[in-house]
Each structure stands twice: as C-alpha cells, then as structure tokens.
Amino acid sequence: MSLDMSEHRVFITGGSSGIGRATAVALSQLGVSVVITGRSEERLKETIANCKGNEHGYVSLDLANHESLPQIMKEQAAKFGPFTGVFHAAGLESICPINLAKSSRIEPVFESSVWPVFSLAKALTKKSIAAMDRRVSLVTMSSVASARGQQGMSIYSASKGAIEAAVRSLAVELAPRNIRVNSIIAGAIETEMHERITTNLSEDMIEDYKRKHLLGFGSVDDIVNAAVFLLSNQSNWITGTSLVVDGGYLCK
Ligand SMILES: NC(=O)c1ccc[n+]([C@@H]2O[C@H](COP(=O)([O-])OP(=O)(O)OC[C@H]3O[C@@H](n4cnc5c(N)ncnc54)[C@H](OP(=O)(O)O)[C@@H]3O)[C@@H](O)[C@H]2O)c1
C-alpha cells in the first residue's frame, strides 16, 4: 500500500534535530507540507533543505514561550493552509539526582515538553488553524521513562507521565471536535539526545542499557514510521492511546 499524504499539512516541534527532523523529512517525501519549530534557526534551515518540495516553513521559537504557539500556527496556517496534524517532538533530557533538583532544572524540561502540549491542543480547536474538513491528529513524544523507574530520571519521567495523562483527557475533550490525540512511548533511539545521555557512561553501562532493549537501540526511522502512521488517515480510528515503540524494553 502506498501512502499519499499530499493533502496533509503538519506542524512539528523539535524539527531542528533527531526524531522531529527525520519525521519532517519523511513526511515531505510523502507529499506533506511541514512547518517546523526549534530554537536553532540554522538547524531548522538544514532540515528544510533536506525536505522534498517547496511548500515548507520554519519558525525559530523557544518553547518557554509556548503560549505564542496558537498565534504562530495561525500565521503559518494562513500561508500554507490549515493543519491536518501536529507532531510534538521537542523535549529535553534530564539526569538529575533528587538532591540537585530545583526549579531551574525542572522548568526547562516541562517548558520544552509538557506545557506546549496544552498550547498545541488549544491551537487545534481554532478554525483558522486546524483543517475542519477532516479528522485532525495530535501526536506527542513520550518515553519508557514514564513507565519504569530509573536512577536520576524523576524529572524526565514525571514530564512524560504528565504528557500521557494529558493525552487521555485531551482525547476525550477533543473527539467532539474531530481531533485525535495520541503519544508514542519510545525506548532508546540513537539521536543527539541519546549521545548526550550516554556520553558519560562506561562501555559496560552502555551495554547494560542496550541489553534492556530486547532488539537493541532503535533508530530514528523506527519512530518516524510510528509518527507517520499516527499522523496519517491509516490511524483514523485511534485516539487516546500510547503506541509503544521500544525494542521490547517494557515487556520484561
Ligand atoms: N532519543 C531517545 O532515546 C528518546 C527516547 C524516548 C523519548 N524521546 C523523546 O523524543 C523527543 C525527540 O528527542 P530526540 O532524541 O530527537 O532529541 P534531540 O535530537 O535532542 O531533539 C530535541 C529537539 O527539541 C527541541 N527543543 C528542546 N528544547 C526546546 C525548547 N526549549 N524550545 C524549542 N525547542 C526545543 C530541540 O531544538 P533546538 O535545540 O533547536 O531548540 C530539538 O529540535 C523528545 O521529546 C524526547 O524526550 C527520545
């Protein structure tokens, strides 16, 4: 079955790196018009340069200012057409022993991942932002850290747990508006975030971490496939759920 998504327009956070970037490029290859955000303008431009076609946009934005998302999306929808989907891939890792936890370490994690969920969902309720002639899809990134305890991960785990809880209630609230809401629970995916997480681990610790995934570490394509599925009409009857893509991490 070939997937034609040429009628789709998707707004993506975290489009300057890793999973968000790879998903933007893959969607463009399926005919989707993408608008990406991230803080680094240079890296956003690199993503756009790798996208197929010309109908793409980027907006440099620190998600600490997430409340500006509805206005930004309105402006972009006026340029490219109302959005059929949103992929919230932005996020920030945090490895922080609890005795070092303080607002200045907690806030950046929630600012990049949790708070934007509400602004993105709110934006999709606006006629000028979301395509009204079809079922719209909001997909957010989560992690196995939401479901398993790990040393030093309480802040990150809490942020992803909050996202999954929000997804269920948003799915209930937004179904009457024809909006689906789902998350992807990812295991370790080899991206820049993964490099930063593993850079200070010994070879033995990395091997141990890898062995916890029955199928080893994942690649961005493993998540891209899940994201494309959830953003496409192929998943038209799926809402309020979390799709686990973790190489078998959680089944043990
Ligand atoms: N890689 C993994 O093993 C893994 C596993 C489970 C879940 N995840 C989740 O998957 C998502 C993508 O991760 P990744 O591995 O692709 O990470 P990544 O390569 O580090 O990319 C993170 C993205 O988030 C953006 N971002 C971070 N803070 C931001 C802020 N304050 N404002 C705006 N944009 C911000 C970054 O853009 P700028 O730097 O340009 O601002 C970048 O585009 C995250 O939610 C992560 O928690 C990843």
Nearest ligand 1 atom to alpha carbon 196: 20
Evaluate: CB of 141 within 6 angstroms of ligand 1.
yes
Helix ranges (DSSP H) in 12-82:
18-29, 41-50, 69-80
Tell me how many domains the chain contains.
Answer: 1
CA distance 60 to 227: 22
As beta bridge partners, residue 85 has 10, 137
Task: Point out the ligand 1 atom lying closest to the alpha carbon of residue 15.
Answer: 43
Task: Give me the domain span that covers residue 50.
Answer: 9-245
Sequential pLDDT tens for the chain (252 residues): 678 899 999 999 999 999 999 999 999 999 999 999 999 999 999 999 999 998 999 999 999 999 999 999 999 999 999 999 999 999 999 999 999 999 999 999 999 999 999 999 999 999 999 999 999 999 999 999 999 999 999 999 999 999 999 999 999 999 999 999 999 999 999 999 999 999 989 999 999 999 999 999 999 999 999 999 999 999 999 999 999 999 999 998
pLDDT at residue 184 in the model: 98
Domain-located, residue 1: no
Q: Is the CB of 193 under 6 A from ligand 1?
A: yes
Amino acid 1: pLDDT = 64
Distance 133 CA to ligand 1 centre (A): 31
Nearest CA to 96 out of 161, 158, 51, 26 is that of 158
Secondary structure of 211-239 in HEC code, one letter for each residue: HCCCCCCECHHHHHHHHHHHHCHHHCCCC
Question: How is residue 64 annotated by DSSP?
Answer: G
- Per DSSP, what are the bridge partners of residue 181? 138
- Burial (CB < 10 A; 0-12, 13-18, 19+), residue 6, is exposed
Q: What's the confidence (pLDDT) of residue 252? A: 86
Q: What atom in ligand 1 is closest to the CA of residue 197?
A: 3
* 4 assigned to some structural domain: no
Q: Looking at the domain assignment, is residue 181 inside a domain? A: yes
Asked if residue 252 belongs to a domain, the reply is no
Q: Report the phi/psi class of residue 18: left, alpha or beta, with left for phi > 0 and alpha for psi in -120 to 50.
A: left
Question: Does residue 2 lie in a domain region?
Answer: no
What pTM was estimated for this model as a whole?
Answer: 0.98
- Gap between the Cα atoms of 34 and 179, Å rounded: 18
CATH number of the domain bearing residue 77: 3.40.50.720
Instruction: For residue range 99-108, list pLDDT tens digits in order.
Output: 999 999 999 9
Asked, for residue 30, whether it belongs to a domain, the answer is: yes
Instruction: Identify which of 69, 119, 193, 221 to mutate to test ligand 1's pocket (most ligand atoms within 8 A of the CB).
Output: 193
250 in any annotated domain: no
Would the CB of 173 count as within 6 Å of ligand 1? no
For 237, the token pair is 């009857």
Measure the CA–CA gap between 33 and 83, rounded to whole angstroms. Answer: 9
Residue 57 resides in a domain: yes
Cα 17 to middle of ligand 1, angstroms: 7
Q: Which of 145, 142, 141, 250 is nearest to 197 (CA)?
A: 145
What is the Cα–Cα distance from 212 to 2, expressed in whole angstroms?
A: 34
